Amino acid sequence: MRFDGVAFAREVKDIVTRIPKGKVLSYGDVAWLAGAPNHARQVGKVLAMIGKDSETPCHRVVNASGRCAPHWPAQHQLLHSEGVRFLSSGAVNMALCRWHPEDDLI
DNA sequence: ACATTGACCGGTT
DNA sequence: AAACCGGCCAATG
């Protein structure tokens, strides 16, 4: 089955849009939720295409260690103003702020 | 068909 | 903490 970039991009957008304020997901998490494990890099590509000015809150996506996008330092401030907690290392406190979708059903 | 490039990930020095 | 490494995979030249 060939990779469908369009459907994938749609999934990614849907998922990212659902991330609650004050929570974050990693690229790998988004890929997994989109039904495409091991496609973290493609998630980054989609977000790059979307752009930070769109409806989609791309700033709620960081890498697995909680670091912000390399070329987008302002992401840190955006998240901080939403209440996301950071570690002294400057990375997001993933243990605290990682979004678990199933939590919203309870 | 082959090489390089990433908003990546996990593990090992 | 930081550098390094191998794995990953669509996109691009």
Per-residue pLDDT tens digits for A64-105: 999 999 889 899 999 999 999 999 999 999 999 999 999 888
* pLDDT score of A92: 96
- Select the more confidently predicted residue: A2 or A25: A25
Across chain A, what does the average pLDDT equal? 95
* pLDDT score of A57: 97
Looking across all nucleic acid strands, the nucleotide with the smallest C1' to CA distance from residue A72 is B7
Nucleic acid strand B: bases within 7 A of protein CB: 6-10
Closest residue (CA) to C1' of nucleotide C1 is A89
Give yes or no for a contact between A94 and A100, defined as CB atoms under 8 angstroms apart: no
Percent of chain A with pLDDT over 70: 100
State whether the beta carbon of A42 lies below 7 angstroms from any atom of strand C. yes
Average the pLDDT over A32-53 and give the result: 94
Average the pLDDT over A29-53 and give the result: 95
Cα A52 to Cα A65: distance, rounded to the nearest angstrom: 21
Nucleic acid strand C: bases within 7 A of protein CB: 1-2, 8-11
Cα A104 to Cα A82: distance, rounded to the nearest angstrom: 18
